[in-house]
Structure 1
Amino acid sequence: MLDHTLLTDVLPSPDTLFSTLLTEVSWQTMLHRGGPVPRLIAVQGALSESTKGAYPIYRHPADSLPPLHPFSATVALIRDVVQERVGGKEGVAVFNHVLIQHYRGGADYISEHSDKTLDILRGSAIVNVSLGAQRTMTLRPKKEFVAAASNEENGEPPAVERIALPHNSLFVLGMRSNMRYQHGIKHDNRPFGQKSVEEQAFGGERISLTFRCIATFLVPRSLPASPPLDVDGGEVGDSEVRFLIYGQGAKSKEVGAAHVVPLPPNKLEEDEERKAVEEEVSAVIRAFGEENFRADSFDWEEWYGAGFDVIHFS
C-alpha cells in the first residue's frame, strides 16, 4: 500500500496568496554541479522551540544551501493550514521547514529524484502545496521496486503515475512512496496556446511550497545571530560565525554534545583535516545516491544512522 494523495481547494484566497508570494519571498538562484537549477529557490523555517537560536537544516545535493529566512506572514498562514490538514492532533511533528520554488514557465523543471531523508524526521510526511499554473508531477517506480513487484505471485509491475497538480492543491508524499518512487516535474516546451486553460493560468507561472519536518539543527556558536541564517557564507555582519550541528542527521544527536560544522575543504589548510572532510563529503553524497536509486533495500541506519556534520558539498 502506497502513501501518497492529492487534496484540492485547501487554502483561502489562493489567487491573492500567489500574487503576494511573488513579491514577499526572497527568491534566489541555487547552484548544482556548477550551474543554476532551472527554477528560483527560497528557504524558510522556524526556530527550535527547545533550543535557543537553533534552526532546522535540510541537506540535499546542491553546491550551496540558500540562506534560511523566518517564515514570512503568507508562508506562515499556509504552513498553519498544512499543519492542520496533515499534521493532525497536538503532539504530531511540526512542519518547521519549507523549500519554496518558483517555476517561471514551462522551461523550468525539476529532475526525477527521491527526497533525501537524512534530516527529515523519520516517519513524517512531505507536503507540497501548489499555487498558480497547473503542472504535472511524474511518479516513476524505481527499477528495484518494479522487479520485486513483478516477481510476486500474480504480481503486476507498478505503473508510472502522472499527477496533475492544480492551483490550490496539496500533495502528500509519504515515506514509503518516497522510497519506492522518484518524483519530478518535466519541462513543458509545448507552444503556450496548446496548453490547457489550467496550464496557461497565471501566465504559466507556478509556486510550490514543500513543507518538511526537519530533525537536524544548526545553532550559531556566537549568539545572537539574526535571520537570515547564511550557513554557506558563514558570516553575519562583519564577524565570522561558526555553527554547531546536532540532531537526527548529525553525528551528535543531542545539543549538549553538538559538533562544530566543518569548513569547506577549500578553506582548510591542514592536509589531514581537509582529507577527512573530503571523505565525509564523499560519504554523504554516496548515501544520497543510494537513497535515490534503491527502493526497499535502502537501509537508513546503514547509510545515515551514524550521521554527518558536513553541510558544504562543492
Structure 2
Amino acid sequence: MDIDNGHDYESLGANSTMGQNAIAGALAGIGEHCIMYPVDSIRTRMQVLTAPELTTVIKDASQKQLRKKSRHLWRGVYSVIAGAGPAHAVHFATYEFCKEKLSDQLSLNTKLRAPGSKFEISNQLIASGTAGAIATFAHDFMMTPFDVLKQRMQLQDSTYKSVRECARTVYSKEGIRAFYISFPTTVSMSIPFQTIQFATYEYCRARLDPNGAYNPKVHMMAGAISGAVASSVTTPLDVIKTLLQTRGSSTDLEIRNATGFKDAARIIYNRHGLMGFFRGFRPRVLTNMPSTAISWSVYEYFKWFLSSDRDDKFRDRI
C-alpha cells in the first residue's frame, strides 16, 4: 500500500492552499451539522432528561414531533450555521497545515524506509492524530458559545424564538462564563474524538484506496467508520458536556449549581449510575456516522474542486 501516491492530493503545499482548505472546511461543517440536526436535537433531549421522562421523549419524538412538529427539532440551527462555517474553516485549514508539517518532519526520520511500509503508515497516523488534536482546540474555542445556544434551543421546553434572543438572555442572566463553562469538558472530549476520527479516517482511506485518488465512495465510507468509532468512545464526555451547557435552563437546583466537570459527572453517576454516561448513545452514533461521512465527502470534494492543478480525468467521477 503506497500512501505516498495520495500525498500530493492530500497535502496543503502541493495542490490546495490554506484559503481553499478553509473554504472547503466551512462548507463541510455547515453541511455536516445541518443535515443531521434533527437527530442531534433528539440526542440532546435524551441526555438532559431524567429517566422517567426519557421514554416519553423517545415516544413523542417518533410519533408526534417527527410527524406534526418536526420543525421544533430544527430550533437553533441558525446558531450552527453561524458558528460551524468559521470554526470548521479554521479546523480543516489548521489540520492540513499541521498534518503536512508533521508528516514532513516524521519522514525525515524514516526517509530510507520503503513507501507504504508499516513505518510510513505509522507516521501518517501519528501526523493525522496530532494535527487533529491541534486543530480541535482552535475549532472548539470558536464553536463552544454557538454550541451552548444550539443546545439551549434544542431543549423540549425551550421558549426562545431566535438565536439572538437566546444569546441575549443567557448573557444577561448568567454572564459570559455560561458560554465557556463547558469548554474544558468540550476540549477534553473533542481532542480524543477528533484524534481518533482523523487517524481512523486516514487509515481507512488508505486501506480502501491505496492509490490515494479522489474517490467519493471511499471518503464517505471512511468518514462513516471514523465517526462511529470516535463517537462511541467519547459518549460519556458528551453527556457531561450537555449537562453543563444546558444547566442554566434546568429547574433542578443541583444541576443549575454544577460548576464543572466533577460536579456534572457526580450528578450523572449518583442519579443514573454508569449507564447514565451513555444516555443518547444511539442517536449520537447515528448522528455522527452520516454527519462525519458528509463532512469528509463535502470537504474532499471542494478541496479537489478548488485545487488549481487537479487532474481533469477525475471530473467524470463526480
Q: Which has the higher strand share?
A: 1
Question: Normalised by the size of structure 2, how large is the TM-score?
Answer: 0.24
Question: Normalised by the size of structure 1, how large is the TM-score?
Answer: 0.24
Q: Which has the higher helix share?
A: 2
Highest RCO, 1 vs 2 (Cα 8 Å, sep ≥ 6): 2
